[in-house]
Structure 1
Amino acid sequence: MNINATLAASLDRQETPSPSDWEATFRQMVLFDLAADMELGFFLSYYRNFATPDIAKTLHTNAEIQQRPMKRSYDTAIVIYELIACGLDSDRGRPMVELLNRVHRNVPGSKDDFLYVLLTLLVVPIRWIQQHAWRQPTKAELVAASRFFTELGIRMSVTGMPATYEEAEAFFDSYEAAHVAPSPEGQQLMGATVQVFQDRLPKVLRPLAKRIISTMLDDGRLTDALGLPRSGRISRAALKTGLTMRNAITRRRPLKTKPHFIPGDAGSSLYPGGYSLDQIGPVNVPHSPAHAGNELP
Structure 2
Amino acid sequence: MKRFAFRDEIHRLDAEADCVRIMQILNAHEFPWDMGRALGIALYRTYAVPSIGALLGRTNEFTGSTQKRYDDTALILNNMMRYGFEPGRGRDALRRMNQMHRSYDISNDDYRYVLSTFVVMPVRWLNDYGYGWRRLTGHEIAAVTNYYRRLGKYMGIKDIPETYERFRDLMDSYEREHFAYTEGGRAVSDSTLDLMVSFYPPRVSGPARKFSMAILDESLIETFRYDPPSRAWRRAADIALKLRARVVRRMRPREEPLWADGNPNIRSYPQGYDVNRIGTFPKGCPVAHDVDPVAHEELYAAQTREEEAPRADDARAGTSADGRP
Q: TM-score, normalised by structure 1?
A: 0.88
1:54 is aligned to 2:51: yes
Give the number of aligned pairs. 286
CA-CA distance at 1:195 after TM superposition: 2.3
Match of 1:269 among 255, 267, 270: 267
Counterpart in the other structure of 1:294: none
Residue 284 of structure 1 is matched in structure 2 by 282
Kept after mapping to 2: 8 A contact 1:58/1:108: no
- Name the structure 2 match of 1:25: 22
RMSD: 2.3
Contact 2:199 / 2:265 at 8 angstroms: preserved in 1?
Answer: no
Kept in 1: contact 2:62–2:188 (CA 8 A): yes
Counterpart in 2 of 1:295?
none
Report the alpha carbon displacement of residue 290 of structure 1 after superposing the two structures with TM. 9.5
Offset of residue 174 of structure 1: 0.8
Which structure 2 residue ranges, 5 or more long, are not aligned?
A: 293-325
Matched, 1:174 2:173: yes
Say which SS state the counterpart of residue 282 (structure 1) adopts: coil
- On the 8 A contact 2:62/2:69 being kept in 1, the answer is yes
Give SS of 2:165's match: helix
Match of 1:233 in 2: 231
1:67 to 64, 67, 81: 64
After superposition, the Cα gap between the structure-2 partners of 1:33 and 1:264, relative to the gap in structure 1 and judged at 3 Å, is closer
In 2, distance between residues paired with 1:74 and 1:263?
9
1:14 aligns with 2:10: yes
Listed as ranges, the matches of 1:46-125 within 5 Å are 46-125=43-122
Residues 22-46 of structure 1 deviation map (CA, whole Å, 9 limit, x = unaligned): 1111110011101111000111112
Amino acid at match of 1:101: N
Deviation at 1:115, TM superposition (A): 0.8
Can you list the C-alpha shifts for 1:189-220, whole angstroms capped at 9, x where unaligned? 11122222012223333124443222112x21
Closer/same/farther in 2, CA of residues 39 and 265 from structure 1, 3 Å limit? closer
Identical columns (%)? 27
Give the unaligned 5+ runs of structure 1. Answer: 292-297
1:221 paired to 2:224:
no
Question: 2:254 and 2:74 mapped to 1: Cα distance?
Answer: 21
Deviates more, 1:78-87 or 1:231-240: 231-240
Moved more, 105-114 or 24-33: 105-114
- Following the alignment from structure 1 to structure 2, what is the Cα–Cα distance between the partners of residues 62 and 184? 13
